[in-house]
Amino acid sequence: MRRLSLAPIKWSAIAQRWGTRGTDVPSRAKGAIKSPKSRKSRLPYVEVGERTDRMKEFVSSGTDDNSGDSDNNHNSVKSINNTDCRNKGTDGGGEIDMDTVAGTDAFTPTVDMEEGYGAPVMATTGSTSSESVLSVIDVLCDDLFSCKTDVLKSFARTRSVSGSTKSELVMNLIDLANREAHGESQDLSITKRVLGDVFNEEVRVSGVRSQWTNKSLEASHIEMACDNHLKFEAMSYTQKTLMVRRNASESSRVLRKLIRPFQQDYNRVAEAAVGGVFRNFKAEADQLVNSMMASEIVTPFSSFLVSYVRFATSGNLLTRTNVIERLEQLELVQIAMDEDSDAVLQRLMALLDDVVAEVERRALCFGGKRTSWGTETPEVLRCSIQAFSDSTAQQHEDLGERVPAWVHDLVRMFNNWEAIVRTDIPVLEDVPRYVFDCILSGVVCYHLLQKIYGDIISPTDVPPTVRGAVKRAMEAHFKDEEKAGHALAKLFAYVQAPGDSGVVKAEFFPAVLSQMQGAFHDVGQSTLHNVRTAIVLREICATVSRCTRTCGLFHMLVKLTEDLRFQFRFSTIFKKLNGRDRTTIRTKYSINMVKTLEYFEQEYAVTPTSTKAVGFIVILLLHMSMCSGAASGHGTKAVLERYISVTNKEEFSIISISDLEATHVRDLRVAFPPQLSYNSWLHQSDTKDKSVYNVLPSVAVKGSTNQAMIISQAPMMKALDAISRVPWRISKYMLHVQEAIVREGYGFGKIRPAFYPLHYCAKSRGDISYESTGMDDDDDKTEVYNLQQRREYELQQDEDWKNLSELRSNRIHYLQALRQARSLVQFSHIYFPNSMDFRGRMYPLPGRLNHTGSDPFRALLEYAEPKPLGKEGLYWLKVHLANKMGMSKLSFDERVHYVNEHIDDVVCSAEQPLYGDKWWQEAAEPMQCLMACKELADALKCSQGPENFLSRIPVAVDGSYNGLQHYSAIGRDAFGATLVNLVPSERPADAYTGILKEMMSSIKADAERDHPVAQRCLGTGKGQDRDHIKRKTIKRPIMTQVYGVTGYGMSEQILDELVKQNKNHGLWTSTDMREMADYLREKVLESLGITFRETQNCRRWITDVTNIIWEVQPAELRTALCWTTPLGLVVRQPYKMRKEMMIFTVHGCARVPANAFSAASRKQLTAIAPNLIHSLDASHLAMTAIEMQNLGLSMMAVHDSYWTYACDLPTLSRVLREQFVTLYGKYDPLWELKEQWEEAYFMDLRRHGKVLPDPPKRGDLDLNVVLNSPYFFS
């Protein structure tokens, strides 16, 4: 078990030295000790010396002194923080975000947690006690059910323990466990486990619908997927790094459309944009463009562009309606007709001065604040509105004729209301106009959202920053917070809205709007009316920018200019930093990026990038995005759709990305449910009756849509359909047994218990730190370890945490599968539709609970339609049971004899699985073994005889060293075939033992020649220094060598086994084991070359041919290796070079794809051997499935493990052998590869004068012997 801490540690001390928040305990191991004295800084500005003094002001806690902005983006940030915590695996209380860990399904109800629990705990992590509580909750309450507060309280009450909060409750339980562990109670283990109320009758039936159908299941899954997708998009753009990372795939598509036009036509478009005024803009922009690669400019532009169009300030403003369509209905915008490209460019360039001024104005408002820099803070909104309000009225004098009537009415009502308020509230009589303009902005925002979204809009959907701008405007006028608060209180009372002098409540703007509608006084100020109309239109653009999939043109220009300028500046200084500084910037999220940038610009004497130059480039890129094929001349669809304002003023235009559709199905990541009635979705006609399985054209085949269309009628699709239509049901017996096991708190396999016994967390052993009274600022009291101890401790911490994380993840996944099984147990038939990957291997689409899972998952499923066992079926059922007990190395008759000898154990296991000797738990796959025990016991008790028993259990036969079997058949390797059971034998052959014997003879020969490493491998024969080279030492490298493992990888696998052995006897040093691993690797390869001579020749030929093809292709135009399988499937390896780029934002940095056109990667060479074998293995499976279907029989498979009824197993065994012989008797894979590749790469080979060599000569194996080999699949 992971030890939680070794000594008390105060995180605030680390925060002070490292510039992190005092509450940010590292999520990797919250209890892990990190001694401040032994840690060395990576950045120069946190080291002792001159830089510490200069930089300590910006390596801060990461918070801003925004006393008036306390509600700025509060809801959004809170949501993001909770999401981030859950993504890390725990939010401080052990709650697991099931959408992140294991997907979402309709069968998993929401877990009720104590509201607001996470916040108070995280707020106190500076203390040792709270830090320990977090770690304990992480260990004890780490699964879906155990972390429920009410369940924990119920459990605590049985122990006479109480607590007001969960943290206090757990700490009291630990204190109790500590006392019990020291003998104060006989119940030292506290074995009672509490799983939660999942097995109560009420919960058991609450999630079950009596009328579930395929459609209802799919609708529920799609609904959840849509909801999760919308929540995924709902984020505050204060987390710009998160925005960029989440939208990387969409930004890559935009990048591919823009990179070539920018490379080819930048100069032409720039010349067209330049007038006399903008000549200096272009000169600076050219200098910037020439200093960078095109991808360094277009990649961040695409990332920020997509992020802002996808951005929404609240969940209600996500894509629930077509915003553009509603704006057109409100007569605010209209689609831009075909316009002259240069005219559009000139209109955009007219905005450049205003954009630059706005960016510089915002920069003054931000200062060095980290969290608010680049966002719409109240102060930024106030300054922007004031600057716009102070602009001359002549700029807007022609708005009246074109603005819709409802806008005029809104302006008129507000002007009347303002006049009345100034009269009725004397303190507001002399306030400047921009104060009321800030109020007008909030009113317009709320009113427009109501018109777009209707009744779902609430006052809280108006961003808090808009409310904060009203307060800041008052404070700016009165220059006294008390007077401003008094004036606001008067205004709140006047409009009858809740609020106080400190905060403008969300209900303020609806109250103002309601009161405006009753204001009848007409002031008749036409000049003011035009200015206010312009403010309304400006706020409309700002409000649209807060809705997903749309953005105001002017707002987009400002944001892109702001962020790209920061990107260009930071990337410039990042290139000058050393490796340690770069690593620190990439990994430490708490660094103040703004002040870091300013510091290094000063240190390296770098002139900041000009705002004018960046604005010029942004306008050019935005113009290229708007124009259909503007630069490329290819007539491609424009990236952006532009909707011009009815006023024809460009600053009021709206843009959206044309490729983005509302809740696109591809973005939903739908969790496919099992089907309750099977309808072949592979060949379904184009009807209205569509299901989730055929919404996506490429669901059947994981790859491109074209690939799916090409093979839509191929035999592989017929085989896929045959595998998918096998009906299953949930085994009630196994479900009850597994529920009982979990309910009692036992763990098995990789499934850990519900709770670790509490006494494991004993304070006396240091697992839990005592509350310390000595937590002051005296560093001398901090315990310091030497470097070796610290290194060993950290490595052990990492390993323990990794193991614990894997265990908790397995448990969560398993418990979810149990709940899903409980929901499906009432149905007589369920189906698992399958899909294919690019090689043709088949996988079920429904996740979590399916037949490809581990032992507990497979044991929950049985065939829905039974068949009588028959005499042969009883025999093969016993063989199946022996296989699950790990007796697969015996002959079939010996396996049956083994089961007959243990028939009493079989019956006892079936009748009392959790009592008695529990013989089934000794099995290699215990759950499936118990399932077979139950089936055999029921068959033996059948009143009509075992032969007439209706069996539902799937009986499996597995290939013997399947990869080597295929290679031996390809090369007709007679000697190797005997080791992989292609040749008949009395008992199953063991390839690993055969290779080991060949190795040992070679090692002994070397040892006789005084080879020191060989002698070390054999040992002296005294004590434990003997028999070091075992079967398991070489098993992994042999198994993976067939699938293309590298020499280094083989050495590492052998080294791992040697390290495990050395822990028992300690005879070798690290150097000794490294030498032995390298030596044994060479011996493995040498022995493989002897025992599988033809097999190794085939692999070498594949390697040589692929290297030739790789070398003759131009590096930038290398294509993916592809071939056609015997059943017509075109296999195209998907491996491409992935080029990434760092995107720098004020909140950190992120990596995004930066290559618009990807060439094939070198993985094409290393993956060809395993992928070729996998594609042939998939062909063998497909041929077998089709033939079984032709015979009227069904089968299921997991790659090289074939399943069917026990009575049908002899037929399946015969068919799979016949199909294997047919596959390699009529098809020579190597010659087919040579011919296909010679045709595909003819020009490249001819240009370099290369010729592909012929495949190696085959051996003398007669494939027909496979037909009589009993252990080929066994």
- In this prediction, residue 1205 carries a pLDDT of 96
Query: Which is catalytic among the residues 659, 958, 990, 1025?
Result: 958
Per-residue pLDDT reduced to its tens digit, 860-896: 999 999 999 988 999 999 999 999 998 988 999 999 9
Strand-strand pairing, 1140-1145 and 1122-1124: unpaired
d(CA 595, CA 585): 12
DSSP 182: I
Per-residue pLDDT reduced to its tens digit, 1036-1075: 888 887 777 788 888 999 999 998 888 888 889 888 899 9
Strand-strand pairing, 640-645 and 654-657: antiparallel
Query: Residue 138: pLDDT above 70?
Result: no
Catalytic residue check, 1244: no
Name the segment(s) of the chain with CATH classification 1.10.150.20.
974-1091
- In this prediction, residue 199 carries a pLDDT of 28
Span 872-951 CATH architecture: Orthogonal Bundle (1.10)
Per-residue pLDDT reduced to its tens digit, 1173-1228: 999 999 999 999 999 999 999 999 998 899 999 999 999 999 999 999 999 998 89
Q: Per-residue b/e over 1100-1115, b at no fewer than 16 CB within 10 Å?
A: ebbeebbebbbebbee
Residue 1252 has φ and ψ, to the nearest 5°, of -75, 130
Of all residues in the chain, the percent with pLDDT exceeding 70 is: 71
- In this prediction, residue 1039 carries a pLDDT of 82
Average pLDDT score, the chain? 76
Query: Which is catalytic among the residues 1035, 1136, 1163, 1250?
Result: 1035
User: 888: which strand partners?
Assistant: none
41 close to 47: Cβ distance less than 8 angstroms: yes
Radius of gyration of the chain (CA): 35
Centroid of chain to Cα 271: 44
The tokens for 939 are 């068959």
Identify which of 1205, 1271, 1204, 1272 has the alpha carbon closest to the alpha carbon of residue 892: 1271
Mean pLDDT of 226-242: 58
Catalytic residue check, 71: no
Place of tokens 């106030």: 382
23-37, 322-336, 698-712: least confident range: 23-37
- For 267, other C-beta atoms within 10 Å of its C-beta total 11
- In this prediction, residue 1105 carries a pLDDT of 94
d(CA 221, CA 1002): 60
d(CA 745, CA 974): 52
Name the segment(s) of the chain with CATH classification 1.10.287.280.
872-951
- For 49, other C-beta atoms within 10 Å of its C-beta total 10
The model scores a pTM over 0.85: no
Q: Is the dihedral of CA 703, 708, 710, 712 positive or negative?
A: positive
Q: Which residue has the higher pLDDT, 1077 or 847?
A: 1077
d(CA 691, CA 670): 12
Name the segment(s) of the chain with CATH classification 3.30.70.
1113-1268
Strand-strand pairing, 834-836 and 1122-1124: unpaired
The tokens for 759 are 């006494």
What's the CATH class of domain 974-1091? Answer: mainly alpha
Residue 893 has φ and ψ, to the nearest 5°, of -65, -35
The tokens for 987 are 């008992």
Mean pLDDT of 676-691: 58
What's the CATH class of domain 1113-1268? Answer: alpha beta
Total length of the chain: 1274
Query: Residue 909: pLDDT above 90?
Result: yes
Residue 409's contacts (CB-CB under 8 Å, 6 or more residues apart) are: none
617 close to 288: Cβ distance less than 8 angstroms: yes
d(CA 841, CA 835): 8
Residue 697 has φ and ψ, to the nearest 5°, of -70, -20
Per-residue pLDDT reduced to its tens digit, 370-426: 667 777 888 989 999 988 887 755 566 666 677 888 998 899 999 999 999 999 999
Query: Which is catalytic among the residues 142, 461, 767, 1200?
Result: 1200
Place of tokens 């609708």: 219
- For 907, other C-beta atoms within 10 Å of its C-beta total 18
Catalytic residue check, 471: no
Measured CA to CA in angstroms, residue 787 lies from 7, 10, 37, 766, 1069 at distances of: 16, 20, 11, 21, 21
